[in-house]
Structure 1
Amino acid sequence: MDRQEVMERIAALSDRSFRAVENTVRALEQMKENRYPFLGNFLNVEKEESADPDVFVCSMPIVPEVLNPYRIVYGGVTATLHDMAMGWMLEHRFEPGSKFVTIDMQVNYHNPGKGKRLKAEARLVHQARELLQVACEIRGDQGELVSTSSATFLQLVRKESV
Structure 2
Amino acid sequence: MDQQLQNDIHDYLQDANEEEQQVFKQIVEGLKRKQEGANGSYLGGLLKASSTFKEEEQQLEMVIPANPIIQNSLNIVHGGITATLIDSAMGTLVHRILADDVYAVTSEIKINYVAPGIGKEFKCITSVIHKGSKTIVCEGKVFRDDGVLIAHSTASFFIIPRKNK
User: Partner letter of residue 81 of structure 1?
Assistant: L
Structure 1 window deviating more from structure 2 (51-60 vs 152-161): it is 152-161
TM-score, length basis structure 2: 0.86
CA contact (8 A) 2:104 2:157 kept: yes
Q: Secondary structure at the match of 2:25?
A: helix
1:5 aligns with 2:7: yes
Structure 1 window deviating more from structure 2 (63-72 vs 109-118): it is 63-72
User: Partner letter of residue 37 of structure 1?
Assistant: S
Q: Structure 1, residues 57-98: CA drift from partner, whole Å, max 9, x if none?
A: 111111122122222111111111000100111122223574
Number of aligned residue pairs: 161
Matches within 5 A, 1:26-41: 26-34=29-37, 35-41=39-45
User: Partner letter of residue 77 of structure 1?
Assistant: I
Matches within 5 A, 1:61-72: 61-72=65-76
Q: Secondary structure at the match of 1:129?
A: coil
Matches within 5 A, 1:146-157: 146-157=150-161
RMSD: 2.3
Q: Secondary structure at the match of 1:89?
A: helix
1:22 aligns with 2:36: no
| Structure 1 outlier segments of 4+, above 3 Å | 48-52, 95-98
Distance 1:51 1:154 in 2: 21
TM-score, length basis structure 1: 0.88
Structure 1 window deviating more from structure 2 (10-19 vs 129-138): it is 10-19
Q: Secondary structure at the match of 2:126?
A: strand
Amino-acid identity (%): 25
User: Partner letter of residue 2 of structure 1?
Assistant: Q
- In structure 2, stretches of 5+ residues that fail to align are none
- In structure 1, stretches of 5+ residues that fail to align are none
